[in-house]
Amino acid sequence: ACGSLVMASRTGPVLDLVEDGKTGILKEFYDVGGMVAAAERALDAPAEFRPLREAAARHVAANYGLDVC
């Protein structure tokens, strides 16, 4: 969440950190095609995902800190 888009599989621990469509993109664990499609979309239209990147950074700063960035 240091300004990068968060893309992850929808698994237990990740659900505590990433809210799909708000702070990142989540796909089902074995949905390789869905993850590839989301990555291609993010690469084709990076500005579209700026709100997610910014929201993720705010979420981490508010709840965890950015000392690792």
* Per-residue pLDDT reduced to its tens digit, 24-66: 999 999 999 999 999 999 999 999 999 999 999 888 888 886 6
pLDDT at 65: 65
Closest CA to 26 of 63, 54, 65, 52: 52
Judge whether residue 6 has pLDDT over 90: yes
Token pair recorded at residue 46: 């990076």
pLDDT at 1: 55
Q: Look at 27 and 69; give whichever has higher pLDDT.
A: 27
Cβ atoms of 6 and 23 within 8 Å: the answer is yes
What's the pTM?
0.81
Between the CA of residue 2 and those of 5, 31, 35, what are the distances in Å? Answer: 9, 25, 21
Q: Could you give phi then psi for residue 7, rounded to 5 degrees?
A: -130, 130
Judge whether residue 67 has pLDDT over 80: no
